[in-house]
Amino acid sequence: MICSCDKCKGGKLDPSQIAEATAYNVLPFPGGLPRIALAGNPNCGKTTAFNRYTGAHQHVGNYPGVTVDRKEGLLTVDGHKVLLVDLPGTYSLTAYSPEELVAREVLAPEDPKERIMATIDIVEAGALERSMLLAVQIREMGMPLVLACNMMDEARKGGITIDMKKLSEKMGVPVVPMVARTGEGLDEAMRAALSYGTQKEQPGMLRISYGPDLDPALDEMEQKITEANVLTQRYPARWVAV
C-alpha cells in the first residue's frame, strides 16, 4: 500500500521531518532514507503523478519558480518511508538551461548521502520518440530506471498500442503503463523502482553507438577521462565523454 498522510505531504522537507522518517521502518539504503526521483519532459503529467504520490497541492504546469525549485515529498510504501524528489521538467540532461542543471545535479549529487536509489521517468505514451532522449541519457549514467508510459488512456483512445515487454527488453529497464490522473500504474511504478534500486546487481550504464565517426573519438576520450579521473566520482567516464 502507498499512502501520503499529513506527515508525508510534498514540498521542501526540513531536517526534522527527514530525521523522523529515518528513525523508523526505513528500507536499507546507504544514505538512510531511500530517494526516488521523478523525471520527465515538460507537461508529461509528472506533477500530477507527484501530487498523487505525496498528496502535495501544487500547480500542474511549468510556471516560473515552480519546477526549477526542487520539490520533495514523503510517502509510505508497504510500511516503508520513501523520499520522492520531483525533478524539473526537461527534455535532456545537457547543462544549458537551469532546469537541466538542476536535474543533473539531483541525479548525480556531490554528497553521496543524497544519491538517488532509482528514477521513475514519466514518458508520454503518445509521444515516445520525443521522450526517449531523456530516458537514454539517464540510462547512460548507469542509473536504475523505470519507464512509466503515462496518458495511456489517451493513447488507447487514439488507437496507439505499446509493446511494453519489447520496450523493456530494448532499454533494459522495467516498463509500466500509467494514467497518473486516475492513479493507474502509480503503485506498480513505485514498487518497481524500489525493487530495482535495491538489487545487488545493477544493470550498469547503457552504451550505444553514435556512429563510425564519433565512436573512436568517444572511446579515446573515455580512456583519457578515466586516466585523469575527470568527474568520474560522479559520472561514468563514457557519459562525460558524450
Task: Report pLDDT digits (tens) over 15-43.
Answer: 444 444 433 334 444 456 889 999 999 98
Tell how far CA 135 is from the center of its chain.
Answer: 9
Task: Tell me: do 200 and 237 sit in the same domain.
Answer: no
Domain that holds residue 147: 2-206
Task: Tell me: do 109 and 169 sit in the same domain.
Answer: yes
Higher pLDDT, 77 or 29: 77
Q: Which helix (H) or strand (E) holds 130?
A: helix 128-140
Per-residue confidence (pLDDT) for residue 165, from 0 to 100: 94
Per-residue confidence (pLDDT) for residue 108, from 0 to 100: 82
Task: Tell me: do 121 and 234 sit in the same domain.
Answer: no
Task: Tell me: do 31 and 127 sit in the same domain.
Answer: yes
C-alpha cell at 234: 560522479
Task: Tell me: do 153 and 224 sit in the same domain.
Answer: no
Q: Is the model's pLDDT at 11 over the cut of 80?
A: no
**58: how many CB neighbours lie within 10 A of its CB?**
17
Q: How many domains does the chain have?
A: 2
For β-strands 80-86 and 71-77, DSSP reports them as antiparallel
Residue 41 belongs to domain with CATH number? 3.40.50.300
Task: Report pLDDT digits (tens) over 201-215.
Answer: 666 677 776 777 887
C-alpha 13/C-alpha 149 separation (Å) is 28
